[in-house]
Amino acid sequence: MIIIDNETVILQEQGSEVRYQIGTPEAFQVLSELWLRSGWDTKYVYSFSWLGRPIIQLPEDMVRIQEVVFDIKPDFIVETGIAHGGSLVFYATLCKAMEHGHVIGVDIEIRPHNKKAINEHFLKPYITTIEGDSTSQETFDAVRRLIPAGSTVVVMLDSNHTKEHVLKELRLYSGLVSIGSYIVVMDGIMSKVVGAPRSSPDWAWDNPMAASKVFVAINPNFEIVEPEFLFNEGQITDRVTYWPGAYLKRVS
């Protein structure tokens, strides 16, 4: 049981009790986990757009990925999973602001109304889309042909979130990632919301974070590394995120 008042967060479990003052990092973590679960149940992330396109992402995740993109300044950002195109437009915004970079989006099906909106968007010059199964060699080869050798690349995986599918994507697209850059495995929160609406019991093991752990265990070129905050004068050092354990950094 969790009890919250204006000053204290109280955790009660099996006869024991722990109290945290409301202004402590420990209380913030408890409250954040509750907020994430409540947001999942209420479909909170389904309420945002970026420059006219729906972007089904937690706002903090997008601000944090912006920090990573600005720090690395990649030549190319590759994203699997397009949906409405909001994330593609978000990354294209960063490319335009930095006056550097291009976005490649991959999806097995880009619905006609979404394709039309992306193609007509004023940031389309910064975006290339490829329609096809992200785990097929043909689709991957189409992506790879767009990226010159020696390019700095960040990859975002946000398509099918099963463990098997994400592992296939990791094996393919990790080869594009430059040393010091990241392949970002999104929506690891699935393992934390088992039993919630729109979840499935097998999410306890069949999720993107499980794929990441398997991948780094057999691939010493990558480690799960939390990017440092580029600015932090507060007490909070952990992300509030739908993407726990998401950042796989290429270290060699």
Distance CA 67, CA 19 (A): 34
Tell me the pLDDT tens digit for each residue of 58-111.
Answer: 999 999 999 999 999 999 999 999 999 999 999 999 999 999 999 999 999 999
Distance CA 32, CA 48 (A): 19
Distance CA 164, CA 24 (A): 39
Query: Which token pair is 216?
Result: 């780094």
Q: What is the pLDDT of residue 116?
A: 98
Average pLDDT value over all residues in the chain: 97
One DSSP character per residue, 165-213 reads HHHHHHHHHGGGPPTT-EEEE--GGGGG-TTSTT--GGGGTSSHHHHHH
Checking if the pLDDT of 15 tops 90, the result is: no
The full 3-state SS of 138-169, as one line of letters, equals: HHHHHHHHCCCCCCCEEEEECCCCCHHHHHHH
Note whether 81 and 155 are within 8 A (CB). Answer: no
Distance CA 204, CA 199 (A): 10
Tell me the pLDDT tens digit for each residue of 163-181.
Answer: 999 999 999 999 999 999 9
Note whether 208 and 185 are within 8 A (CB). Answer: yes
Nearest residue to 71 (alpha-carbon basis) of 130, 129, 152, 10: 152
| Angle subtended at Cα 164 by Cα 159 and Cα 168, rounded to the nearest 5 degrees | 70
Q: What is the pLDDT of residue 136?
A: 98
Q: With a threshold of 0.85, does the pTM exceed it? A: yes
pLDDT average, residue stretch 207-217: 98
